[in-house]
Amino acid sequence: MLPRFITKTIHAYLDYPVAVSLVAMPFILGLGSVNPLAFWLSVATGIAAFVLTVLTDHHLGIIRVLPYKLHLTVDFLVGLVFVAAPFALGLSGLEAAYYWVLGGTVLAVVSLHKQEDTLQTA
């Protein structure tokens, strides 16, 4: 069994920088030269991740209307989409590596999350 050490607090502190990075990195890396979806998938996901974080019920959430467990479920689904994106969109090289690394990282963060944090309410 994997040691689960990522707490709700740690996860909350990662959310905003990750969202901003998802928007910024396609510009910095020049993604989308072959397939524009390689650019826009990251940008759109970054914007959605920012909104999700603002709305999540954790200490850094601003409006706090969405349960934290839903946030983790969305993160898991994003990880799966990112891992599959290079195959589905025909990406290669840097673009494929970008999505595989991000997808794997998101899935690792979700899988290393402490169980008791996901069961807490309010």
Query: Each residue of 45-65: pLDDT tens digit?
Result: 999 999 999 999 999 999 999
| C-alpha span between 26 and 20 (Å, rounded) | 11
In 3D space, the residue among 17, 33, 22 whose CA is nearest the CA of residue 79 turns out to be: 22
pLDDT above 80: residue 105: yes
For residue 77, the SS3 value is helix
Q: How confident is the model at residue 34 (pLDDT cuts 50, 70, 90)?
A: confident
| C-alpha span between 118 and 105 (Å, rounded) | 19
Q: What is the pTM of this model?
A: 0.90
